Amino acid sequence: MAGRCEDVPGEPTSRLVPSRVVNAASCFAFHPEVSAQCVSTQPTGLVATDRVNQANGLYPGLYYRVMGVLVGPDVEHSVLVMRLVNSAIAALLLALILRITPPGIRQAATVALAVTFVPLGLFLVPSTNPSGWAVVGLLAFWAFGLALVHRSDWRNRRTWLLAAATVVSGVMAVGSRVDAAAFVVLVAVVVGILAGWRRLRTNGAASALVAVVAVAGAITYLAHGTPAGGAEPGQAVQDAGLGHLLTNAVYLPLLVQQAVGFGALGWNDTTVPPLVPFVGVLGIGALAYAGLALLTVRKTAALIVTIAALIVVPLAFLQKEGLGVGEVVQPRYVLPLLALVLAVLGLGPRVARPLALARAPMIVLAAGLSVSAVLSFWANAHRYFAGTTVGLFDPKVAPTWVSSTGVPLWLTTLATGAASIAFVTGVLVTVPRTALRG
């Protein structure tokens, strides 16, 4: 693409791209005390880079092809459009889950989404990172696929909507990351376990559709292979034996904690206040307690498979590369698996009958996650407009950087806070109440 992504003669894995795409973050990344105002001093023009995921075969091409359509001559405008489009896709899928899935699946998927997406999911979904498609696509594929195999009337419009949503969400996940393509196969297996052989055989068309998406995921994964660890010199241990495996096993919960706030955002240099991970861990525990109080044979089997994947996948990679927990494997890689575990936990006795969630605890959890979501946004925004040298709630703070949209910071914060509170409260309080009535 002329002027935006040009080939470099003699270097097939490199591209010429606008300087600000490559170097904009170099002035503030890993320097949290520096605001994003430094970007304005970066030079313009095209520069060569070998950090081209698609050219190096590290990622499937779908995400980058779709985002490539949105690339224009203005870098900041292009990024903003990509963020809005990704947010709209996620919002549409969430709306469809609320509208066309049975009450039990609707509640399980949305509650799991709310508990696991603060703050990391809410950071990734509107980003330009393919991980946003991975976390949204996999959870949506589970919800739509499970709902679809419970329907046999193809003369109904809802069945066709479920079929289309199943394909779209599954393809999103397959086309986002290599590991997400493999996770699509896992989700299809979990859907089959929860549905049961009799239902899968009876609803052959629906089962075949879920299986086709899973086969596409398997082919994509096998075509790309397991990504290399990319460990820095000195990271990998010399003897990754049983002791190394056991050490990683007892430290593995750190990845789950990081996914709900203990990990840093951005370039892994933007921390959020400890209140955020505190509420996140409590939320996971509350949903796990409620889900374990009602177990069926199929739900138990699906739980065993999903929890095993959450444990085995990162452990196997770390062992293979000789790495420890906290090296290379980031929490965004396990976030889809964590959401899947909690979604299965949140299922009731039947897809039409949701898990009974006590109203008072859900209100408290909604309040806590609402505060966490707003606080996470403010900590992230504060880091970029002022830097960490200024107090988080300093009333005299004077932003040194403003966004290219020209929207005042107070208005952005107000709109984001209102939307976050409405989302979390609606999912954790309103959805369970309407699901029980439905």
The mean of the pLDDT values for the chain is: 88
Q: Are 85 and 68 in contact (CB under 8 A)?
A: no
Structure confidence by residue, pLDDT tens digits, 118-135: 999 999 999 999 999 999
What would the mean pLDDT of 56-66 be, rounded to a whole number?
A: 82
With a CB cutoff of 8 Å and minimum separation 6, the contacts of 201 are: 207
- With bands split at pLDDT 50, 70 and 90, how would you rate the model's confidence at 161? very high
Best-predicted range by mean pLDDT among 13-17, 284-288, 399-403? 284-288
With a CB cutoff of 8 Å and minimum separation 6, the contacts of 207 are: 149, 192, 195, 200, 201
Q: Are 27 and 21 in contact (CB under 8 A)?
A: no
Of the given ranges (60-69, 334-343, 425-434), which has the lowest mean pLDDT? Answer: 425-434
Q: How far apart are the first and last CA of the chain?
A: 51
The closest of 117, 106, 104 to 284, measured between CA atoms, is 117
- With bands split at pLDDT 50, 70 and 90, how would you rate the model's confidence at 56? low
Give the number of other Cβ atoms within 10 Å of residue 343's Cβ. 30
More confident residue, 223 or 19: 223
The closest of 295, 90, 264 to 173, measured between CA atoms, is 90
CA distance 171 to 209: 12
- Look up the pTM and report it: 0.93
pLDDT at 182: 95
The two counts, helices (H) then strands (E), for the chain are: 18, 3
Q: Distances in Å between the alpha carbon of 256 and those of 28, 109, 276?
A: 27, 18, 13
Q: Are 261 and 276 in contact (CB under 8 A)?
A: yes
User: Can you state the percent helix, strand and coil of the chain, rounding each to 5?
Assistant: 65, 5, 30
Question: 37 is written with which tokens?
Answer: 């105002």
Q: Distances in Å between the alpha carbon of 331 and those of 100, 256, 298?
A: 31, 7, 28
Angle 409-425/359-385 helices, nearest 10 degrees? 160
Where are the chain's structural domains? 6-52, 87-353
pLDDT at 207: 96
- Three-state SS at 59: coil
Question: 218 is written with which tokens?
Answer: 């398997």
What would the mean pLDDT of 148-168 be, rounded to a whole number?
A: 94
CA distance 420 to 376: 11
With a CB cutoff of 8 Å and minimum separation 6, the contacts of 179 are: 134, 221, 227, 313, 333
Backbone torsions φ then ψ of 15, nearest 5 degrees:
-140, 155
CA distance 431 to 118: 18
More confident residue, 407 or 239: 407
- Three-state SS at 368: helix
Best-predicted range by mean pLDDT among 56-70, 325-339, 422-436? 325-339
CA distance 82 to 126: 8
